[in-house]
Chains A and B, each alone.
Chain A
Amino acid sequence: MRAHPRGKRWLMRGGHALILAVFTFVLAFPFYWMFITTFKQTTDLLDLANNPFVFNAPPTLQNLRELFLDTEFGRWLLNTVLVGLLVVVITLLLAVPAGYALARLAGRWGQRAGIAIFLTYLIPPTILFIPFSRIVAGLGLQDSLWSLVLVYPSFTVPFCTWLLMGFFKSVPRDIEEAAMIDGLSRFGAFVKVVVPISTAGILTVVIFTLTLVMQEFVYGLTFITSSANYTVSVGVPTFLVRGDVYFWGALMGACLIVSLPIAILYNFFVDRFVAGFTVGAIK
């Protein structure tokens, strides 16, 4: 092998490119498939003689027109955004102070309390959804978006508190101490000095909360029963697939429209998200 270093290098490079190409193809293919299905005419889609990878008839906007005009998809998008924003507000109000307290004020037991809070993130909806269905009914919130606003922070707060704790720890102590010497109280320094310079961390939490809300399925499926109150992640798979007739064009359009913006947004923050998972395992 030493005799053909150039040949070996080309082989390595070719192998590297091949591995990446195969993985990228398999992982991204369903989204390409959503894309091409969205813009195909139904007759093209359902003709088995056609090559399914390409447009055999001119592309069409008919499927998207149906999605927005004949289904409540627009309504579901609006519901999702509404729930998302309210959950973001609740999450920030709870997680920002808690994260700061754990990072700065809690002393030795802070780390342990932080881990305990993070571990509650691991308790899945599939254990809690049954009691929640009774609690939600007891509060008169069944089939209401407010049930989601109430319950979603139960998984956004633990994870976001943990992320913010890590973030606040990385803020140099000198900044607060300087502000306190200038006459601010500890709380004043937190609100007026630490929070403003932590915009990046807070923005990360906003993005994660929004994506977690958009991805949530189990609680939505359990609490919501009428189509008008669905969020997209529940409305599309349950309502658009009811019955034997699948409008694949419209369905795939719905999946694509929701997936792509989240994916692009999330992409900028994924490293921080990973850091949240790996605190402790990487030094």
Chain B
Amino acid sequence: MRRPPVFGDAHALHDERRLGALLLAPAVVYIVLLVGLPFLLAIYYSVSDVTVGNYTPQLVGLRNFERILDDPTFWRSLQNAVVFTVATQILVIVLAHVLALALYADFRGKWLVRLLILLPWVAPISLGSIGWLWIFDPVYSILNWMLQAVGVLAAGERLIWLGQPDLAMASVIAVNVWRLLPLATVIILAGLTSIPQDLHDAAEMDGAGFWRHLFRITLPLTAPIALVALLFGAVFTFTDMIVIYVLTRGGPYDTTQVIASYAFFTGIQGGDLAAGAAISLFLFPVLVAIAILLLTVARRAEVA
């Protein structure tokens, strides 16, 4: 029979460490092989001339990167990705605060409202985007019908939602906000719930009005968690191509092309794996920056 480990028992502690490593190893090996290895391979591809048909790739130095930096479509994609991400996050964070504050109060039918509000996040986004494709249909768009009904558009007048450059960008941003808002809302709601009631009571006693209460108590105390929602949202938006792939394929004239979708069209559909890998690596610095920020937030919370 094994002795139960006792605190301070060096032998038992050693056994525990070994068991821990043993239990952890399969997951770590899997992650190294299926995340670490492909990532290194992506870096290798970006400095080679690999294509779909080329089985003996040569190293070509930074030629792919030079080619990309000379490519106006790449710059356009980078700019679009930044606009897409920043606009989405600003809208999401503001709207999520409003919605979370509204959901914080008790009211009848809250579970149903919550279920409905969560739908865009939980439904597969490729399918949600197809729903929007139908809403944005050039001929049968319900949006045009509504705008005609209230008289903003004349009868028979139509907006081609996904076919006009500025409107297309606004449309994909709207769909992305629609999709990320539920997640940000529930995260911020969790932050609101974690504020001790005493603080609200104290503010009430001091006669703080709604806005003063909001800006002095509620917003500062939810700021760290709102930052978490913001950072995750930024990662999911900057690296995503699903909404854009389904709705516009990057068009019209690359006005909604982002880095992720451009990497896909170049590397997978165009077969130029090397250039595709090089383009997608431009996502990485942003990821690193966001990861560092997340760690800082986590560490500060630990110290506090």
Binds A, one of B72-80, B165-173, B260-268: B260-268
Residue B45 at the A interface, CB < 8 A? yes
Residue A193 at the B interface, CB < 8 A? no
Please name the residue on chain A nearest to B18 by beta carbon: A105
Name the B residues within 8 Å of A37 (CB-CB).
134
Q: Find A262's partner among B124, B268, B301 (CB 8 Å cutoff).
A: B124
0/1 per residue, A51-73, Cβ < 8 Å to B? 01100000000000000000000
Residue B147 at the A interface, CB < 8 A? no
Name the B residues within 8 Å of A20 (CB-CB).
102-103, 107, 113
Majority SS at the chain A contact face: helix
Once the chains bind, are B124 and A232 in contact (CB under 8 Å)? Answer: yes
0/1 per residue, A193-237, Cβ < 8 Å to B? 000000000000000000100110110011000000000111011
**Shortest distance from the beta carbon of B93 to any chain A beta carbon, whole Å:** 15
Q: Find B187's partner among A157, A241, A274 (CB 8 Å cutoff).
A: A274
Please name the residue on chain B nearest to A21 by beta carbon: B113
What is the CA–CA distance of A217 and B294 in the complex, to the nearest angstrom? 26
Once the chains bind, are B225 and A281 in contact (CB under 8 Å)? Answer: yes
Once the chains bind, are B304 and A19 in contact (CB under 8 Å)? Answer: no
Please name the residue on chain A nearest to B190 by beta carbon: A274
What is the CA–CA distance of A53 and B143 in the complex, to the nearest angstrom? 11
Name the A residues within 8 Å of B45 (CB-CB).
130-131, 134
Q: Tell which of A28, A115, A190, A280 has the most Cβ of chain B within 10 Å.
A: A280
0/1 per residue, A145-159, Cβ < 8 Å to B? 000001101100110
Q: In residues 250-277 of chain B, which contact A (Cβ within 8 Å)?
A: 259-260, 263-264, 267-268, 273, 276-277
Residue A30 at the B interface, CB < 8 A? yes
Q: In residues 269-304 of chain B, which contact A (Cβ within 8 Å)?
A: 273, 276-277, 280-281, 283-284, 287, 290-291, 294-295, 297-298, 301-302, 304
Once the chains bind, are A120 and B31 in contact (CB under 8 Å)? Answer: yes
Majority SS at the chain B contact face: helix
Q: With A20-B102, A123-B35, A124-B283 as given contacts, are A30 and B135 in contact (CB-CB < 8 Å)? A: yes
Residue A183 at the B interface, CB < 8 A? yes
Q: With A94-B26, A98-B23 as given contacts, are A158 and B31 in contact (CB-CB < 8 Å)? A: yes
Once the chains bind, are A153 and B21 in contact (CB under 8 Å)? Answer: no
What is the CA–CA distance of A46 and B139 in the complex, to the nearest angstrom? 9
Once the chains bind, are A133 and B240 in contact (CB under 8 Å)? Answer: no
Once the chains bind, are A122 and B235 in contact (CB under 8 Å)? Answer: yes
Q: With A19-B99, A33-B131, A126-B283 as given contacts, are A131 and B122 in contact (CB-CB < 8 Å)? A: no
Q: In residues 1-29 of chain B, which contact A (Cβ within 8 Å)?
A: 1-2, 4-5, 15-17, 19-24, 26-28
Residue A23 at the B interface, CB < 8 A? yes
The size class of the interface chain A forms with chain B is 35 or more
What is the CA–CA distance of A122 and B191 in the complex, to the nearest angstrom? 22
Binds A, one of B84-92, B178-186, B198-206, B212-220: B178-186
Once the chains bind, are B191 and A130 in contact (CB under 8 Å)? Answer: no
Q: With A186-B5, A281-B297 as given contacts, are A19 and B280 in contact (CB-CB < 8 Å)? A: no
Residue B132 at the A interface, CB < 8 A? yes
Residue B69 at the A interface, CB < 8 A? no
Name the B residues within 8 Å of A28 (CB-CB).
116-117, 119
Once the chains bind, are B99 and A259 in contact (CB under 8 Å)? Answer: no
Residue A119 at the B interface, CB < 8 A? yes
Name the A residues within 8 Å of B34 (CB-CB).
150-151, 153-154
Once the chains bind, are A215 and B187 in contact (CB under 8 Å)? Answer: no
Could you list 6 examples of A-B contacts with CB < 8 Å? A30-B178, A33-B134, A95-B27, A177-B4, A255-B127, A280-B301
Residues of chain A at the chain B interface (Cβ within 8 Å): 16-17, 19-20, 23-24, 26-28, 30-31, 33-34, 37, 45-46, 48, 52-53, 93-95, 97-98, 100-102, 104-107, 110, 113, 115, 117, 119-120, 122-124, 126-135, 150-151, 153-154, 157-158, 161, 177, 180-181, 183, 185-187, 190, 211, 214-215, 217-218, 221-222, 232-234, 236-237, 241, 246, 248, 251-252, 254-255, 258-260, 262-264, 266-267, 270-271, 274-275, 277-283
Residues of chain B at the chain A interface (Cβ within 8 Å): 1-2, 4-5, 15-17, 19-24, 26-28, 30-31, 34-39, 41-42, 45, 50, 95, 98-99, 102-103, 105, 107, 113-120, 122-135, 137, 139-140, 142, 145, 178, 181-182, 186-187, 190-191, 194, 224-225, 227-229, 232, 235, 239-242, 245-246, 259-260, 263-264, 267-268, 273, 276-277, 280-281, 283-284, 287, 290-291, 294-295, 297-298, 301-302, 304
